[in-house]
Amino acid sequence: MVETPAAARWSGGLVLTPGLMAFTGDIGDTAAHSHAAVQVLLVTRGRVVLADAAGRTRPAHLAIIPPGIRHEVRAGPGSTGLLAYLDPDSVAGRAAITRMQGLPADEVASWIAAATPRFSASGADGPGPHMPGLGLPSSGLSGTGHGAADSEIPDPRISGSGNSGEPSRRPRSDSHPAVTAALRLATESPSGPPSLVEMADQVALSSSRLSHIFAAHMGLPYAAWRRWTKLLRALDAVQTGASLTEAAHAAGFADSAHLTRTCRDLFGITPTEALQATGRRT
């Protein structure tokens, strides 16, 4: 009888700060999923394969995955690295999406091409072993010392190449007052971001108008951003000692089952697996 290899498991450290969630350590497998953040992947050891929604696969050491794009992670034994999830409206998120300019957003080859260093006449893509355009250090994140500090991450400020195909969705560089107000209100709300109808009422716009403006400026629909923000709020609550049920209610989920479904849909793993990956007991 041939045994099926066990799925690679996540294990490492997690950092949650406004506009950024970062994981460093052992990279595991995920189910197919998409999320509202811009994902930056750096593999420092081992083999990681990315798959897009059409089933195309590529081994990747560096990748930038746009928000809202369905993908899957398949990690070989002993694979380690850094995964950063960036708010698409942050300076870092905008810089990362800039590298996708002109590339088909839903193709795995584009994600790798966007992150691949493009050497100038001086022979360098960026000024050092860090993410200058993203503001992300390649070391110093909590949890593990798997060599991330020894690997260079490309500077995302350089625009993407002009490949054929549909260009990636990218947020606009300016900021609309309604979007700014909505983001502030969502952050200040003790129960998490309100529904689109409720938010539209608070910023004195119709829901259809706010939906259009929000998508144009953030690069993804309000509903998708709201789910992502609620999930981050729940994970942050767990990080500070809340149970899954307490975190679910604090973030505006109906119950822990609703939180689990959302986490699996957005990250490809369950909250329990995420907690176990960072050494927390469930």
- Tell me the mean pLDDT in the region 70-96: 91
| Mean pLDDT for all residues in the chain | 78
Helices (H), the chain: 91-98, 108-115, 177-188, 196-202, 207-218, 222-239, 244-251, 256-267, 271-277
- What's the pLDDT score for residue 281? 54
Q: Which of 3-12, 41-50, 124-133, 161-170 has maximum average pLDDT?
A: 41-50
**Mean pLDDT confidence for 230-253:** 89
> What domains, with CATH codes, occur in the chain?
1-171 (2.60.120.10)
Q: What pLDDT, on a 0 to 100 scale, did the predictor assign at position 128?
A: 33
Residue reference for tokens 């604090």: 250
DSSP 3-state of 126 = coil
From CA 93, how far away is CA 113, in angstroms rounded?
17
What pLDDT, on the 0 to 100 scale, is given for residue 122?
54
Per-residue confidence (pLDDT) for residue 169, from 0 to 100? 42
Q: Is 115 exposed, middle or buried (0-12, 13-18, 19+ CB in 10 A)?
A: buried
Averaged pLDDT, 93-120: 90
Closest CA to 160 of 124, 130, 116, 108: 116
Give yes or no for residue 1 having a pLDDT over 70: no
Judged against a pLDDT cut of 90, whether residue 268 lies above it is answered with no
How far, in whole angstroms, is CA 159 from its chain's centroid? 20
Q: What is the pLDDT of residue 9?
A: 84
Structural contact between residues 32 and 83, judged by C-beta atoms closer than 8 angstroms: no
- Whole-model pTM over 0.85: no
Q: Which two three-digit tokens encode residue 124?
A: 């360098």
Segment 6-27 shows an average pLDDT of: 83
- Residues written for the chain: 282
Is pLDDT larger for residue 126 or for residue 175?
175
Confidence grade of residue 121 (pLDDT, cut at 50, 70, 90): low
- CA-CA distance, 144 to 140, in Å (whole number)? 9
Q: How does DSSP classify residue 4?
A: P
What share of the chain in percent tops pLDDT 70?
A: 76
- Asked if 37 and 21 touch (Cβ cutoff 8 Å), the reply is yes
Instruction: Say how far residue 246 (Cα) sits from the centre of its chain.
Output: 24
pLDDT-based confidence at residue 5 (cuts at 50, 70, 90):
low
The residue among 274 and 34 whose pLDDT is bigger is 34
CA distance 133 to 125: 11
Q: What is the pLDDT of residue 7?
A: 66
Mean pLDDT confidence for 199-222:
90
pLDDT digits (tens, 9 = 90+) for 20-39: 888 999 999 999 999 888 99
Give how far Cα 209 sits from Cα of 151, 204, 206, 212, 215, Å: 44, 10, 5, 5, 10
Q: And the tokens for 248?
A: 């679910």
User: pLDDT confidence of 92, banded at 50, 70, 90?
Assistant: confident
**Residue 140: per-residue pLDDT:** 35
Cα–Cα distances in angstroms (integers) from residue 72 to residues 28, 32, 82, 95, 108, in the given order: 11, 4, 16, 23, 10
